Amino acid sequence: MANAHDTHHEGSHGSVKSYMVGFVLSIILTAIPFGLVMFPTFPKNLTVLIVVAMAVIQVVVHLVYFLHMDRSKEQRSNVSTFLFTVLVIALLVGLSLWIMFSIHSEMMAK
């Protein structure tokens, strides 16, 4: 009986160096928004924009360094599945907000 680990590719796991780079980037991308919120120095709109930008960058860091999603041929199906999931969630949230805004406008107009 073949071991399930025998068919696993050695290159699909990251090195200790890549995990440490991802970990350090995650810490930095968490500390910056935390510091901005704890010690407000910028206007609120700019702070919110920076926090959202750091969150998006951190998602990309996690996808690349911890989930190993890249442009390689082996990861193509994972990346396309992830992008489809993002599209479905964006449509679901976006259209739900649109419906709620439309209902609110109609209710307030009367």
The residues spanned by each domain of the chain are: 11-68, 73-110
d(CA 42, CA 72): 40
* 30 closest CA partner among 60, 51, 8: 51
The per-residue pLDDT string of the chain (110 residues; one tens digit each, 9 = 90 and over) reads 455 444 445 455 778 999 999 999 999 999 999 999 999 999 999 999 999 999 999 999 999 999 888 888 888 888 899 999 999 999 999 999 999 999 988 888 66
Is the model's pTM score more than 0.75? no
d(CA 69, CA 91): 23
pLDDT recorded at residue 15 = 87
pLDDT recorded at residue 7 = 47
Which tokens belong to 62?
A: 């996690």
CB atoms near residue 32 (< 10 Å): 16
Does residue 26 contact residue 54 with C-beta atoms inside 8 Å? no
